[in-house]
Amino acid sequence: MGVDPTRASIARVYDAFLGGKDNYEIDRQVFQSVQKVAPEAQELALENRGFLIRACRFLAGQAGISQFLDCGSGLPTAENIHQVVQRINPDARVVYIDNDPVVLAHGRALLEENDRTHFVSADIFHPEEILENQEIRQYLDFSEPLAFLQLGTLHHYDGPRERPARIMREYVDALPSGSYIAISHFLDPENEHSELARRMEHVFLHSPMGSGTFRTRAELLELFCGLELVDPGLTFCAEWWPDGPRTRPLSPVQQSIAGGVARKP
């Protein structure tokens, strides 16, 4: 599958949000359209990235997880998962999954520099394709705990609204005891900022990217399949173990993306 510069790519749009260079004009149009609705829209990607770093640091450190399966990895940027976790545990193994051709090209380059980091091309919204993938099974031991990551991915599922919860159930059922899941997702905060969240959603859904669903807290909790959430539970990404004390209130955009980590007993 080749790269189509006339179609926006989720990975390249995120790259544009993060100020990267691996994107096309069509991707920047999506970013600029969302910015018109919410000038601080870039905070969506920054908060998602910050949550990713802190959650993976916790999983590799305090939780002692040494296997990581990252769904929808996106384009390499500052502080990728393998860099975060292998700084804590050099033996940690990371498998990235994506099906974007631009991401795959970067992934192949990544393989050359790190023999504990692997890249697999697959569709993260088809659990059976992932769980039965022999390449993934070659790198990860499903008899031992692992970290299963859906960071900024499930809100890009463009099928029935209830399907992501069923997708997560299929994954969770297959994970070994002691595994963790980490999820970040666009949030309808159900407060005075809900209107902004819905406006951003409208722009995402009607943009060349065509996806970006904002779910309520109750809908996001369903994605964790009843697993016990690690303190502080499901919360704004900015509030999940921040690196220091908060000195200013959260912006409306910061209140429009949430994350959490949960453990399978």
CB atoms within 10 A of CB 131: 16
Cross-strand pairs, 117: 94
Q: For the segment 51-83, what is each residue's pLDDT rounded down to a tens digit?
A: 999 999 999 999 999 999 999 988 877 789 999
The answer to whether the beta carbons of residues 182 and 150 sit under 8 Å apart is: yes
Local confidence band at 161 (pLDDT 50, 70, 90 cut-offs): very high
Mean pLDDT of 80-89: 96
Local confidence band at 5 (pLDDT 50, 70, 90 cut-offs): confident
Q: pTM, whole model, 2 decimals?
A: 0.95
Among residues 23, 44, 17, the alpha carbon closest in space to that of 257 is found at 44
Phi-psi sector, 159: left (phi>0), alpha (psi -120 to 50), beta? beta
Alpha helix segments (H runs only) across the chain: 10-17, 25-37, 42-60, 81-88, 101-111, 127-131, 134-139, 163-174, 194-205, 217-222
